[in-house]
Amino acid sequence: MNIPPHLLPSLEDIPQSSVRLYTECKEQIILLINDFVLKYLNSLYAEFNGDLILAIILGELAHQNFSRIMHKGNINPAFNGTQFTIESSRDLMVPCNPFSISEATGIPRETVRRKFADLLELGWIERISPRGYLITPLVGERFMFGFNIQLFEGIRLLCEQLQKIVIAKESAP
């Protein structure tokens, strides 16, 4: 199985200050993260009718489509401040195929092909060339203003809670 290139940071890449803070506050941190991750996974499960593989494939496809706009996990400085929608970004999007999604996720290519068929049927992706697929505006309509706002708020609240732990730890004698 191929290992996806954008997993969480390896332990070797985590600063010692983060390791120390985590170690000192791990019980609180674990509970907060677990609460968020479970809510997120349950929301994904509901949103994709129990098909988490479909969610991963759609997410990876969108990630690859927008790879010109993203740069090392951040908005490419060349596009900073630009209003993006799926429609307005179409010329910038990078088409991808089941093979590239399989390589990126480690999900077997045949499974990815079947899920592409499901996504085509839903109207969430379209084939623009013999080997290239893009997400459609339906994905934005479905997720951008509902699910993603809820996800953003969940992450924002998690960050607030984690920041309180950090501030309390740093201000403790």
How many degrees, rounded to 5, is the angle at CA 91 between CA 144 and CA 84?
A: 30
Say what the pLDDT of residue 81 is: 60
Domain coordinates in residue numbering, the chain: 26-171
For the cut 80, the answer to whether the pLDDT of residue 6 exceeds it is no
Residues 10/11/12/15 CA torsion (nearest 10 deg): 110
Say what the pLDDT of residue 124 is: 97
Say what the pLDDT of residue 133 is: 97
Task: Kindly report the backbone phi and psi dihedral angles of residue 76, in degrees, each rounded to the nearest multiple of 5, phi listed first.
Answer: -55, 130
Say what the pLDDT of residue 82 is: 63
Residues 57-111: tens digit of each pLDDT: 999 999 999 887 776 666 666 666 666 677 777 888 899 999 999 999 999 999 9
Say what the pLDDT of residue 1 is: 40
Say what the pLDDT of residue 102 is: 96
The model's pTM is 0.84
Please give the average per-residue pLDDT across 145-156, as a whole number: 92
Say what the pLDDT of residue 50 is: 97
How far from the centroid of its chain's Cα atoms is residue 11's Cα? 20
Options 3.40.50.300, 1.10.10.10, 3.40.190.10, 3.40.605.10; which CATH number does 26-171 get? 1.10.10.10
